[in-house]
Chains A and B, each alone.
Chain A
């Protein structure tokens, strides 16, 4: 028998199933919910159900959205010729928050990872190829993360896209020393990328 009442134990167990939340954090959150007023608990429960019922994938870019197509895909002020390909909704959000890209997005929902059983057919690659001809895309920016699997996915896509359309401009996001980084701690590969993609600043 646990030290808390059954219903509270159940709530702690449910919270501790969430990523990054251990037993102690789950207990703290459950006790906070218990202490707060009824409206707060009801609104939390309602939001949880709502998110499961209403959130779906945009049929165009496969980002998470309430409405289909999503606000970005239905925004007529955005440029139509460029697609930025990202791994997941979080990556799209990061680029969107920076406010520097005004084109369209395509969310792959993962990267190629044979060790985890993820192959090309498990990603939204076929849908990207369909969009190329349907939307008259001129440039594709491959913004997968610079990890081994992210890089391999970018190279795989670059090959596939250039085979499909030889005239298509395919770009990869730049790699190198990050803002606030320290050269002393940089590895050979990062410095190689940084020097390889250097740009002139006096012209």
Chain B
């Protein structure tokens, strides 16, 4: 699946014309300077006042943002059926110079990912992905690859990808993009290069692996097979494939899952709230 670019998103002309007619010359200049259209994934929606919505969304070019959709709860034209959780939309919004809150003009649905709402495990998985993205990428931190990862993961989830494989794929990539990549190249204690032979032990405090001479496998330092280390390296690397391109064995998933769980808990400082619904 090709990632979505800004060029793919059409300007909703009816909305643009209507708004331009209403504006003065200064207003027009201001509008053109501040108005922006981005593909965006809706992360959170809260009711705001009588008929407005407070929306958190992740854009490819401006990262995670917050905005107010005036009349969003009643609108049948500007926000008709597109301001819903996890939807991929083409969002037109006004850029704010001060403060965090943007003003949402209109929205057009690109993909509603119906598969995400068809069962509770998919809903929980999508929520987990959103929560992890929120932690790793604060408001305004731009990362196009993170947007693509979320988009690809939602596509995969929508098409019924294996939840356990998709989960470790997302965790490994998101942590890597967030700057918490696990060092798989050398032993964190003796410094010897890992040649890809024999099992190794993961050390959460170091964010790295160590050889069996320097450490022992335990519940707090789980072991990894050479195949699992190679797979983890592939997922963390810059070759940004999709989960379908990688073939996971059950043993690999069982190996990598506790490693990523410990790694995330150590780096984030807590367990994710949505994780309890995935068990």
Contact = CB atoms under 8 A, between A and B. Distances in A.
Contacts of B44: 115
Interface string A121-150: 000000000000000000000000001110
Given A120-B120, A148-B116, A182-B76, A187 B274 contact: no
A181 B74 CA distance: 12
B118 A152 contact: yes
B130 A115 contact: yes
A149 B112 contact: no
Contacts of A151: 117-118
A178 B75 CA distance: 12
A148 B109 contact: no
Contacts of B124: 114
Q: Is the interface of B mostly helix, strand, loop or mixed?
A: mixed
B137 to A, nearest CB: 16
Interface residues on B, range: 20 to 34
Interface stretch (B60-68, B80-88, B212-220): B80-88
Contacts of B47: 19
A159 B120 CA distance: 10
B52 to A, nearest CB: 9
Interface residues on A, range: 20 to 34
Contacts of B114: 189
A20 B50 contact: yes
Contacts of A187: 80-82, 108-109, 112
Contact of B85 (A149, A156, A181): A149
A12 interface: no
A174 interface: no
Interface string A4-38: 00000000000000011000000000000000000
A44 B20 CA distance: 48
B131 interface: yes
A182 B14 CA distance: 14
Contacts of A181: 76
B57 to A, nearest CB: 14
B51 to A, nearest CB: 9
Given A20-B50, A115-B130, A190 B119 contact: no
A182 B87 CA distance: 21
B274 A114 contact: yes
B123 A152 contact: yes
A114 B277 contact: yes
A114 B81 contact: no
Contacts of B128: 114
A114 B85 contact: no
Contacts of B118: 151-152, 155
Interface in B126-145: 127-128, 130-131
B49 interface: yes
A112 B120 CA distance: 8
B81 A152 contact: no
A147 B80 CA distance: 12
Interface string A46-59: 00000000000000
A189 B115 CA distance: 12
B119 A152 contact: yes
A186 interface: yes
A187 B108 CA distance: 8
18 contacts: A20-B49, A112-B123, A115-B130, A115-B274, A117-B273, A120-B120, A152-B116, A152-B122, A152-B123, A156-B120, A159-B119, A182-B76, A187-B81, A187-B108, A187-B109, A187-B112, A189-B112, A190-B80
Which 6 A-B pairs rank lowest in CB-CB distance, beginning with the nearest?
A: A151-B117, A114-B127, A187-B109, A148-B85, A152-B123, A189-B112
